[in-house]
Amino acid sequence: MNRRGMWGQLRRAGRIARVAMRHRLDWLLEGVGLPVAQLPLPARLLFRFHPGRLLPKPKEQPARRLRKALEDLGPVFVKFGQILSTRRDLLAPPFAEELRLLQDRVTPFSGDEARQIVERALAMPLDEAFAEFVTEPMASASVAQVHAARLHDGSEVVVKVIRPGIESVIAEDIALLYGIAGALERFWPEARRLHPVDIVRDYERTIGDELDLLHEAANTSQLRRNFTRSDLLYVPKVHWDFTRRNVLVLERIYGVPISEVEHLRAAGTDMRKLAERGVETFFTQVFEDNFFHADMHPGNIFVDIDDPADPSYIAVDCAIIGQLTENDQNYLARNLLAFFHQDYYEVARLHVESGWVPAGTDVHEFERVIRGVCEPIFQKPLKEISFGHFLITLFQTARRFEMEVQPQLVLLQKTLLNIEGLGRQLYPDLDLWHTAAPFMERWMAQRAGPAAAFRNFAERAPELIEQLPHLPALLLQAGRAVDRLGTIARDQQVLLARLDAMQQAQTRTRKRRRSAGVLALLAGGALLAPAVAAADPSAAMVPAGFLGLLGVWLILGRD
């Protein structure tokens, strides 16, 4: 790192320390069990005698102080807190709920600077690319801001521009976060359970995706293609000719923000249909397309109410996308259905079978624990049972059995919580189980059974037909391969027999050498005995000693 970068990090670290003192985060760390006595001496002295100790003891709740500290530290830490709030499998509920309130209230950068960034990225004057470009931003967030514009063909668009210099700020802050996380893991046993380094790594990957607008554009195009023939979700078109790594141009959409519930009701929107369509949209993305928008907070979702009786969704900001492996899809659906049917043994068995918990886990013990956690949930009416909170409870319970929650499952849990929360905000009587269970049962039926087997065969039929003319040659090659395997097996048997014969020969040689060694020792003794008896041992010492050494070498020497 160069000197300028080092001083930048030191200044940033100093600012973090000042904010931490102002919000008395030292009390928060002590409250959650930081082992101060185990810290290195300089850190221990600083912790005990820093100037912030002169400030009065804080009255606000620790979770609220942490949220305010992140807000004071700026947009990068706000974004980190937002992502951290999704890790409900790790955080205590008060912290998760408080961090969820973090919003990107970021001062916009200069519109003239945005124009310059766009011109440099497109390598053309702004007037050549756009018939109109509004300098005043429509919205400003931690990583980018958005401007309205119009193309020369009359298309209304929005232009998303990455903040200037944000990459270096993020790099410095991530380096500091890694340092803090590493220190916590090193000196605080409780922090190791929370995996702070892994959390920072997830954040680095997520914010890296948000910095690359080509990545977001590709995600947007794929999601749009997935719903081309569906009325459930509309995704704006990407204008690729004007899109670069730090500039994204999208079709401008008009809709009502999902958070404006009173506006939706006043327009006569069918709120039940809207809520149920949200659930259907989510499960379609997860199970049918295996490509789901994983950042569906209220700021990214709009509603098309051109026909209030038949409302649909509009999604923007596709930087964060989740995908599951085929096995995860299958096991997740079966887990949720088993839970719905209160088959706890099946839930436990599926966790072991899928590899989510170690193979040696006692399934019956795991079943007993899951039953103890889940039975109280089923005492509520189905419409009051939260799918998302069930997943949180299940993951937290499974952690006792050494389950490591995978990033794609965390994204899924976060998205489901958002969808479920929005759905019940729109229509409080939403029964997510009633809406989701038939969808999953239908999906499982399509994936298993005779219909699925026939469909798989039909999908592979062209490939099979293409290979039919080559079938005799393939069979002949297979027969030759089997013959070669047989020959290899026979050669291996011969080789093993030879190795066995060599081992037996070595054993016989070893025995003969040991016998010869014993005879040499006896011969040496026989030569020495008469000389000793005649009181002249020197006469036989040399030949007797030679025979003795030869005997020892023959007995102890290597083969």
**How far apart are the C-alpha atoms of 418 and 79, rounded to whole Å?**
17
**How far apart are the C-alpha atoms of 216 and 208, rounded to whole Å?**
11
**How far apart are the C-alpha atoms of 354 and 544, rounded to whole Å?**
74
Q: Residue 326, Cα to own-chain centre: how many angstroms? A: 16
157: three-class secondary structure by DSSP: strand
96: three-class secondary structure by DSSP: helix
Q: Would you list the DSSP string of 265-309?
A: HHTT--HHHHHHHHHHHHHIIIIIIS-EES---GGGEEEE-SSTT
**How far apart are the C-alpha atoms of 426 and 263, rounded to whole Å?**
11
The yes-or-no answer on residue 295 being catalytic is yes
**How far apart are the C-alpha atoms of 259 and 36, rounded to whole Å?**
44
Task: Determine the residue type at 133.
Answer: F
DSSP code, position 244: B
Q: How far is CA 283 from CA 235, 280, 313, 417, 426, in A?
A: 17, 5, 14, 13, 18
Q: Which of 210, 414, 448, 232 is nearest to 337 (CA)?
A: 448
Q: Which of 25, 111, 16 is nearest to 73 (CA)?
A: 16
Q: How far is CA 328 from CA 338, 363, 485, in A?
A: 15, 19, 37
Q: Which of 224, 436, 439 is nearest to 316 (CA)?
A: 224
Instruction: Tell me how long the chain is.
Output: 559
Which tokens go with 76?
């990068």
Strand partners, 415: none
Count H helices and E strands in the chain, helices first: 23, 11
Residue with the two structure tokens 């070595």: 506
- Segment (H or E) for 454: helix 450-467
Strand partners, 161: 145, 247
Annotated catalytic residue: which of 202, 295, 317, 431?
Answer: 295
Looking at the annotation, which residues are catalytic? 295
